[in-house]
Amino acid sequence: MTNSVTLHDIRNYVSAIADDIMKEREHWGEDDLQDIISEHADSSQFVIYFSQAHEFVHALDYETRNDAEERAEDYMCGTRKSYDEMASIIAYCALELLISDELTARLDQEQAA
């Protein structure tokens, strides 16, 4: 039996990714940020492994899951995907959204200081 992913786990995971990205700030500009976010989301175990993608999506709050599902429709471009592939795509989209939101909040806070 595996441990289920919780929303708290997701927040900690996203925060750790944001920490890593912020530590490397000298190596990227704002134009590079979306590519960096996409790379982190794409290489996540929550995207790569279907069972973890399902757990991740299940643990998301309603709003994030809904937003990710809408974005996933764009990625699928009307092509038919398996249940597992859909979970992986939704997890990817959710991670992109969450990481982007976290980084935006940190950068805004930094500018305000």
Residues 52-72 have pLDDT tens digits of 999 999 999 999 999 999 999
Residue 4: strand, helix, or coil = coil
Domain of 43?
A: 7-17+32-112
CA–centroid distance for 35 within its chain: 13
For residue 22, being part of any structural domain is answered with no
63, 37 contact by CB (below 8 A): no
For residue 70, being part of any structural domain is answered with yes
Rounded distance between C-alpha atoms, residue 73 and residue 90, angstroms:
9
For residue 27, being part of any structural domain is answered with no
pTM of full prediction above 0.85: yes
For residue 1, being part of any structural domain is answered with no
Rounded distance between C-alpha atoms, residue 85 and residue 75, angstroms:
11
Determine the residue type at 71. Answer: R
For residue 26, being part of any structural domain is answered with no
For residue 23, being part of any structural domain is answered with no
DSSP letter, residue 78: T
pLDDT tens per residue across span 39-52: 999 999 999 999 99
Number of domains into which the chain is organized: 1
- Mean pLDDT value across the chain: 91
**Alpha carbon distances (Å) from 44 to 10, 84, 88:** 12, 15, 10
Residue count of the chain, please give it.
Answer: 113
